[in-house]
Amino acid sequence: MTFSLVSAWNRRRRSKSLDAFHRWTLKPPEQLQLKDQSSSLGRRNRSLVFTLKEMEEATGSFSDKNLIGEGGFGRVYKGTLANGEVVAIKKMDRRPSKKQADGEHEFRVEVDLLTRLDHPNLVTLIGYCADGMHRFLVYEFMPRGNLQDVLNGISNLKMEWPLRVRVALGAARGLAYLHSNSALGIPIVHRDFKSTNILLSEYFEAKISDFGLAKLMRENEDTYTNTRMLGTFGYFDPEYALTGTLTLKSDVYAFGVVLLELLTGRRALELNQSTADQNLILQFRNIPTDQKKKLRKLIDPEMARSSYTMETITMFVDLASRCVRIDSNSRPTMSQCVKELQVILYASMKA
């Protein structure tokens, strides 16, 4: 079955690049096994194809002791491949017919994108399994888990201020690459950027994951209108929610929410709080950045006071507040966010 998204890419790419793109189809099980899986070198843009049996062997038949996460898509297991490489294996849920079609589309988008993109702040797709009705995605293993769990204390890890700024900068670089510098030559909107989709390496390098809802924009166009809302509540761009118009600035809005999560250690939405305190953005929207006393009350108390200065906090909040402006045209680009965070990180390290 032809993947129509790839066909659309082929039409948009420059003629000299057409040979680099091929239609991607699900192979029958007997064709899924690759002969050489011993080397991890040069794997980018050449993902491995696994069988269901290999996925079972890697995870101990999907043992609960190897379960490291779960969500609407299914479960994620820690696994070990035949060559000894430790990986994360996402097992996609088998859903009712309508949702199954959505899941299949998301699976195909993720495989096709991550085999063509190359950036240190995007998670590496090692391979996939499309064996019968079973669908798996195999990623590099990120030992620190996702950012939200770290901030909420679930993983018992502590992040001081300079490290939080460095994570923000890494995520910003990943988004900036998608928006303007990707190998596809076409702007890509992630559409589901959030703290749970920022994974952390052993050394707290931020890598963006979960590209199933990503949208390729038309060449020379920066908007896309769709009446069906896709994404996560708490990170929705207000313009996208009201008009159905998706832009690169929709990712910028979600990025601003993540910046506020990094500052406060809180979730974007906390329904167990009072109505006034449920939405994180509303806590900041009416606070001028020069009111340092009010800002101090919102800083994550888990951070050591000696790890930050109010100067860098103010710079950080100013950037976040501009990212979450209701008018998308007044938000910065991700490239601008990268430049400002570089300055903030330098100031934080110097302090």
Structure tokens belonging to residue 187: 């702007």
Q: Binding residue per annotation — 293?
A: no
DSSP state of 289: T
DSSP 124-183: -EEEEEEETTEEEEEEE--TT-BHHHHHTTTT-----HHHHHHHHHHHHHHHHIIIII-T
Q: Are 126 and 95 in contact (CB under 8 A)?
A: no
Q: Going edge to edge, which strands form the sheet with 74-80?
A: 48-49, 125-131, 134-140, 86-92, 74-80, 67-71
In this structure, the number of other CB atoms found within 10 A of the CB of residue 199 comes to 23
Whether 300 is a known active-site residue: answer no
Question: 178: which residues sit within 8 A by CB, 6+ positions away?
Answer: 117, 122, 187, 188, 189, 190, 208, 214, 251
Q: Round to whole Å and give the CA distance between 351 and 349.
A: 5
Structure tokens belonging to residue 98: 């309508």
Q: Round to whole Å and give the CA distance between 130 and 307.
A: 47
Picking from 121, 145, 151, the residue whose alpha carbon sits closest to that of residue 280 is: 151
Place of tokens 């990986």: 87
Strands (E), the chain: 48-49, 67-71, 74-80, 86-92, 125-131, 134-140, 188-189, 198-200, 206-208, 215-216, 223-225, 245-247
Q: Round to whole Å and give the CA distance between 209 and 121.
A: 9
Which of the following is catalytic: 192, 210, 237, 251? 192
Active centre residues (catalytic): 192
Binding-site entries:
91
- List, as residue ranges, the binding site for ATP: 91
